[in-house]
Amino acid sequence: MGILERKKREKQQRRADIMEAAKDVFFSKGLMSATMDEIAERAELSKGTLYLYFQSKEELYLSLLDEGDRIFLTMMRKELLPTLSAEELIRKTASVYYKFYQQYPDYFNIMFFLHHGDLENKVSPEFYKACMCQAEETLKMIEGIIQKGIGEGTFRKVDSWKMTLNLWATANGIFFLCKEKGHHDFLKGYGEQELLEHALDIYLEGLKKK
């Protein structure tokens, strides 16, 4: 029995190894330019082995995305204590997202730069659906915060889902901008954190009841 368990653990480890290698390669090359050869080499495994654990390049990619979502969701759940006020929760959310972005830059990239290729058509619909659902969870948590703020009378009566999408879009837009243009002087030295905080300042100022 111990043997079976060890084998299972080894198998999971191998799967994790592949995902680790894939993460590096996908991030540095993008979905299309990344090659299974390179992933296999980086994982120090044969190419055939990759296909024992993942049905296709796309499934491997989407598995990374899914893991990223799961990590982020876990971080959120741990830090968003119900004792905090709505404003604190909003700021907390932003800081958790920023932390995630910092700690797992490759996951962030994979999550965000998902779109290329017909990813959707190349994996099983069930798997795709499951990934999407998990991603939606996050947004629902944010919406809950807005609603809480409105309920408490801290925030004006705004459309909570609209507001959620705006916050999410803004954070992503900022991270994206910094990623994209960070190495030019567009940003004049401003970093993600400063911009995000500034956006929050303005947003919260506009959101709060006078």
- Per CB under 7 A, the list member of 24, 30, 42, 47 interacting with DNA is 47
Selection from DNA, a copy of itself, none that 56 binds (CB < 5 to 8 A by kind) is DNA
**Would you tell me which residues interact with a copy of itself (CB under 8 A)?**
30-33, 113-118, 132, 135-136, 139, 158-159, 161-163, 165-166, 168-174, 176-177, 179-181, 184, 186-188, 190, 194-195, 198-199, 201-207, 210
Q: Where on the phi/psi map is residue 184: left (φ > 0), alpha (ψ -120 to 50), or beta? A: beta
- Per CB under 7 A, the list member of 57, 86, 145, 163 interacting with DNA is 57
- Tell me the C-alpha distance between 173 and 195, whole Å: 10
- For the bound state, the minimum distance from the C-beta of residue 59 to DNA, rounded and expressed in Å, comes to 8
Among candidate residues 102, 122, 111, 120, the one with its CA nearest the CA of residue 64: 111
* Residues in contact with DNA by the rule CB under 7 A: 3, 7, 10-11, 14, 33-37, 45-49, 51-53, 56-58, 122
